[in-house]
């Protein structure tokens, strides 16, 4: 009886420890994701402002203050639900978003390429973050990682998350940034395609995510991670 009881105690302690690790990892990934999205949105607004559109500035969105960007559903409610599911199932996925930065393209000095510049600014900011922290990961002495696995893991998460954000947002399906690039190049005779994608884009995107239609996404992200970090 004593051995059985001791075994139960050990199992319970291990379970509690795994819960703590899951919570800490989840919160860290969520914080990195949200700040990366904030920088993404700030990049949109900053480029729009440089092109003559002050809409984001007047809305108080040209700031790194996350409180100005948080979305009640995408930044608070959904992450909490996903954390509870992670604790229950032992496997987790982190999804979140911030409020889009308001942009008025009619204010752009560059009427021809303004939309494209603003749209690409977000993914470009995430790619720059990935490169910055990825180069730290590549050139930091390996002895530091051997003695501090947490640093290796933290930098890997930062690089991976920003690569994912950059690639994912370039998918040419609304409401992602890639759709604005696509629409800028589509001739007027393809107006029906624009209308269709704007109407059903989100549903198409969810279908692709749920049924594995974005497997190529992981191949590209893994390749870029290796290219930047050498791992």
What are the catalytic residues?
Answer: 41
Cross-strand pairs, 70: 98
Pairwise CA distance, residues 40 & 94, whole Å: 17
Q: φ and ψ at 60, to 5 degrees?
A: 75, 25
Return the structure tokens found at 148. Answer: 């501090």
3-state SS class at 88 = helix
CA geometry: angle at 107 spanning 168 and 166, to 5°? 10
Q: How far is CA 127 from the centre of its chain?
A: 11
Pairwise CA distance, residues 220 & 222, whole Å: 5
Return the structure tokens found at 223. Answer: 């390749």
Pairwise CA distance, residues 209 & 196, whole Å: 19
């Amino acid at each position: 009886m004593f051995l059985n009881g001791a075994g139960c105690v050990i199992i319970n302690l291990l379970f509690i420890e795994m819960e703590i690790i899951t919570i800490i990892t989840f919160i860290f990934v969520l914080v990195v994701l949200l700040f990366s999205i904030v920088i993404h949105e700030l990049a949109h607004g900053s480029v729009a402002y440089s092109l003559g559109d002050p809409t984001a500035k007047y809305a108080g969105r040209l700031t790194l203050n996350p409180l100005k960007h948080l979305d009640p559903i995408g930044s608070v409610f959904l992450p909490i639900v996903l954390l509870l599911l992670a604790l229950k199932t032992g496997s987790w996925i982190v999804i979140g978003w911030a409020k889009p930065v308001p942009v008025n393209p009619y204010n752009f000095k560059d009427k021809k390429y303004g939309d494209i510049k603003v749209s690409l600014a977000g993914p470009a900011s995430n790619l720059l973050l990935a490169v910055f922290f990825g180069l730290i990961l590549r050139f930091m002495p390996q002895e530091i990682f051997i003695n501090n696995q947490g640093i290796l893991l933290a930098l890997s998460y930062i690089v991976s998350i920003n690569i994912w954000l950059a690639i994912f947002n370039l998918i040419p399906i609304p409401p992602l940034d890639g759709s604005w690039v696509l629409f800028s190049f589509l001739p007027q005779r393809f107006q029906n395609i624009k209308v269709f994608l704007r109407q059903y884009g989100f549903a198409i995107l969810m279908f692709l995510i749920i049924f594995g239609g974005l497997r190529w996404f992981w191949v590209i992200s893994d390749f870029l991670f290796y290219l930047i970090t050498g791992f």
